[in-house]
Structure 1
Amino acid sequence: MKPVTRTLAAFPGRLSALVLAGFWLLGAPSAHAGLFDDDEARRAILDIRQRIDAGRAATDALQAETRRLADDNAQLRRSMLDLQSQIDVMRADLAKARGQDEQLARDLAQVQQRQKDMAQGVDDRLRKFEPAAVKLDGQEFTADPAETRDYEASLALFRKGDFPGAQAGFITFVKNYPKSGYGPSALFWLGNAQYATRAYKEAIANFRSLLAAAPTHPRAPEAALSIANCQMELKDTRAATKTLEDLIKVYPESEAAGAAKSRLSKLK
C-alpha cells in the first residue's frame, strides 16, 4: 500500500481521486491480495487516463453530432417553412388563375350570348324583308312584309269606320303593289270604302277591276253584287238588272246569286 500511496501523492488531488475511482471500477484487489508496485500503478493511471480521454472524445463527438443534428433539423425546418411558403404562393396563384379562368368563361359566355342575340336580331330584321306565305280570302300567295303591313293598316281603318282613310290607304296600296296577291281583296275593300263615302262610280270601277283581274276570286260574286248596289244607288235600274242577271248566270252557286235573285224580284 505504501508504494501506491507514495506514487499517488505525486499527483494532484483530483487525479488521485480519479485513479482511486478507477481502481474501484476496474475491480481493485482486496487489501489482503497485495499492493501494486509503481509500474502497475503507472499503467493503471495511464489506462484510466486513456479511458477518460476516450470518454471525453466520445462525449465531444456525441455533442458535435448532436449539434450537427440540431443544425440539420433547424435547416430542415427552414426548408419546410420555405416549401410551405412556396406552396401557399402557388395555391394563391392557382386560385387567382382559377378565378381568372372563371371570369374568362363568364365573359366568353356573355360574348357568345350577345353574338347569338345579334344573329337572332339580324335574322328577325331580315325576316321582316323576306316574302312570307299568306292565306287570305281562300287564296294562298307570297307577299313581302311591307305589303302585309300596308294592307292590314288600310283594312284596320275600314273596320274602325274611317272610310276616307281606308280609301286613301287602299288606293296607295293598289298603286304601290300592282301585282300583289292582296290586289283583288284590296280592290274589293277599296270599292266598299268608296261605296260608304257615296263615291259610287269610283266604286263600280274598282269592283270591275277586281272581276277583270280575278274572275274566280272568292270575292268576285260579292263584287258583282256590289256593282249592282252602286247602280241602284245611281238610279240606273236597267244596268243594275243586267248586272244581277249576269251574276246569277256566272256564279249560280254563290250566296251573292241568291241575294241577286231577291233583288231582281223587287226591281221587276
Structure 2
Amino acid sequence: MIKRTLALCLLGLYGTAVIAVPAPVTDVTASSSDQRLDEIERRLKTRTDAQHRQQEQLDVIQNEVNELRGAIEVQNYQLEKILERQRELYLEIDKRIESVMTTVPSKLVANTGNLSQVETPSVMSGNENEAYDKAVNLILKDKLYDQAIPEFQAFLQNFPNSDYIPNAKYWLGQLLFNKQDWAGAGEQFQSLVSQFPDSTKRADALLKLGITEMERANVARAKQLWEQVIAEFPNTSSSKLAAKRIESL
C-alpha cells in the first residue's frame, strides 16, 4: 500500500513536469523564417545578377548602334561629296558644250541643203546606250548640233522609260535653246522639271526655262522661276545667275 501510494505520487510529479515543459515551437518558427529570408535573398541576388547582365548587353548593343550611326554618317558625308563633285562635273560639261554651241551658226544645216534630214527624227537602231551615245557624240565629238536634235527626239520616242530620259530632255532643250526656239526649249525644260524633280539638271533647267519665258515676254513667270532656283539651290552658280537675271529686270 505504501509502495503504491509512493508510485502514484512520483507519477503525478513526473506528469506535471512533462506538462510544464513547452514544445520547441520557437525553434521551429525561427528556422523557417531563416529559410524564407535565405530564399528571398537568393532570389533577389539572382534577379539583380540578371538585371546586371541585361544592362551589360544593352550597353554593348548601344555601343554597336553608336558605331553604326557613326559609320553611316561618314558614308553619307562621302556620298554627298561624290554627288556634289558629279554635279560640278555636269555643270562644267554643260558650260563647255554651251560655249562651243553658241559659236556655231544656228542655220548651219539649212545652208547645206539637208534641212529635211534635220527636221525628221531618224529611226534609231541598237539599244538605248548606243542610241544615247550616238546623240551625245554628235554634240561632243562631231559638233553636228542640228543633226543631234532629231537623234534626241527619236531617243525620247523610242526609249520613254530609259534612265537617260532626263539628260536627253535637257540636251534637246539646250539644242533648241541655242537655236532660239524658245517654245520648243521651254517645253523640254518644263517636262524635265515637272517629271524629274531629283535630276541633277533641274537647277539649270529651271534657270533656262525662266529665260525662255522671258524671251516670250512672260516676265512674271520668268521671275518666279528664277526665285525658285535661288530658293532650291542656294550658293550655286545657277542661283547666282538667277539673281543677276532678277536684278536686271
TM-score by length of 2: 0.47
Tell me which of the two structures has the higher relative contact order, counting C-alpha pairs closer than 8 angstroms and 6 or more residues apart. Answer: 2
Rg: which structure is higher? 1
> TM-score when scaled to structure 1?
0.44
